[in-house]
Each structure stands twice: as structure tokens, then as C-alpha cells.
Amino acid sequence: MKIGFIGLGIMGKPMAKNLIKAGYELIVYDLSGDATKEVASCGANAAPNAKSVAAQSDIIITMLPNSPHVKEVVCGSEGVLEGARPDTIVIDMSSIAPQASIEIGKACAEKGVKMVDAPVSGGEPKAIDGSLSIMVGGDRVVFDDVYKILMTMGSSVVYCGDLGAGNTAKLANQVVVALNIAAVAEAFMLSKKSGVNPLLVFDAIKGGLAGSTVMNAKGPMMLNNNTNPGFRIDLHIKDLNNALETGHAMGAPLPLTAAVLEMMQTLRADGFGQSDHSALAKYYEKVSGEKISG
């Protein structure tokens, strides 16, 4: 079986490498020639465009920034659908709007190509060690066909429903993560302003009901003033915009999501767009005039 992989960014690159380690034959393409060369040096074959990837592959995985990029790569000129054979499977692992997944899936179906949406959670560290959480939408039979491949990149692969359901689950995940990070930063600032060491507060509450995977991962980053990106503010802004767009279309109120999105937009304006989303702490430091760390 030959697998095509398109999109070798901060997440796609380690995911592709894990497929190679598992023994799959990969054909790869990315706009960055350096990224393509790096993955090719691990044993993949490089292709000049998405069409060429599709022509050589039984399954094509895309890992791209947002809905327009996936539409262009799959449906555009020199795209996947220009090279794919009938019964080829497209696994879009990008985090995009659910409605965009449905529209792209319809275009695939017109060419006899099957598609599932399979966005991931876990950031770069879990992409590297192959322990991503993967949420999948699409035909259940196609899900069963690709399950083993997805488990090469993740430790949890869950079927969520029809096409688009994977991205709906991912948006829900991103809402919970964003609000959780903001809550941790807010609590740390309350502690600091009250004269109580936020590190001691973290140690005191992390084992109780307030404790979470998000707190354990992002709390220490805030306390150490570490904004090195595992997941960038700019990408989280994209996800929360997609969540609000979907919420408006479905009639689902998202007032807390809107509030945290505005905090992130402020951080982007202040130059933190490429920083880790734990840099939400910087918003509280800005408005309070106090540092959480130190």
C-alpha cells in the first residue's frame, strides 16, 4: 500500500515520519522544499505536486492549515482529484470547518474518491511520539479500512459520525482547551495579585477537581515564562473562528469562546501570534501590570 502525505509542517512532518517508521511506503509533497527533503531523507519519495502524489497513492493524507488550503490541494488545479483513481481514500487530518469537510467530500464523491475527516489533538509533542488523539468523521466502512494507519500516528482513534463530525469534535476540543488555558492564567494572576505564589497554588489544586491535562501541560509553561510553540496562538485563532462560524450556523451560543478569541487577537496584535497558546498568560499580565512568573 502506498500512502501520499501532503503538508509537512509542525504536525505533518513527524506524523509522516511515524508512518515511515511503521513500514509504509510514502509519497510526500509540501510547498517547503526543505521539509520535503527532510522527510524524503527518512525514506519517503518526493512528488512535485498534489496531483502527482495522488496518482501514485492508494490513500492520501492531507495535513494543512485551514479550509481554503484543503480545498485548493484536493479540488484545485494540479490537485488530488486530478490524479486520484476511483476508490482512492482521502484522509484529511487538517483542522477545518465541518461544512468545508462536507463540501470537499462531495467533490471527492463525484470523482469516485472516498473521504474521511480526521483532525488531531495533542500538539507537536504527541505528533512526534505518535500518541495523538484522532477524531474521525465519514463512512464507517472507510473508517475501519484506515483505522490501523491512523493508530500509527495516534494512541486514540474515535469514530464520531458522518463526514464533518471529526472536525466538529475537534472544534469542541479547541473550545475546551482555550477556555481552560485562559482559566488557568486567570487563576494564577488572582494568586499573584493576592500575594500567593502561583507555583504553590498550582501544586495545591492540580490534584483536585480543577486539575486537568491542560493545566499540567500549560501551567508550568506560564510559571516559567516559556512561550515556545507546541500549538501557536495563530492556529488557535483559526480554530476558534471556525468554532464561532459553525456555532452561528447551528444556533449554538459560544460567548466564552468569543471572549477568549478576543484575548488571542490582542496577543496577535502584540506580536505573540507565533507563540504557544499558553501565552494567554501574557494577556493577563498586560491588563494587570503584573508578571505571573518570577
Q: How far apart are CA 165 and CA 101, in angstroms?
A: 9
Give pLDDT, residue 21. 97
| 2-163 CATH fold | Rossmann fold (3.40.50)
Is position 114 annotated as part of the catalytic site?
Answer: no
C-alpha cell recorded at residue 199: 507555583
- Contact between 184 and 219 under an 8 Å Cβ cutoff? The reply is yes
Residue 131 has a pLDDT of 97
What digits encode the pLDDT tens for the residues 185-229?
Answer: 999 999 999 999 999 999 999 999 999 999 999 999 999 999 998
Q: What number is the average pLDDT over the span 81-98?
A: 97
The domains of the chain are located at 2-163, 172-288
Quick one: which of 13, 7, 17 has its CA closest to 50? 7
Exactly one of 170, 192, 218, 238 is catalytic; name it: 170
Fold observed for domain 172-288: N-(1-d-carboxylethyl)-l-norvaline Dehydrogenase; domain 2 (1.10.1040)
- In the 8-state DSSP scheme, what is residue 84? P
Q: pLDDT tens for residues 233-290? A: 999 999 999 999 999 999 999 999 999 999 999 999 999 999 999 999 999 999 999 9
**How much is the pLDDT for 196?**
98
CB 67 within 8 A of CB 96: yes
Mean pLDDT of all residues in 144-167: 98
What band does 230 get if pLDDT is binned at 50, 70 and 90?
Answer: confident
pTM: 0.93
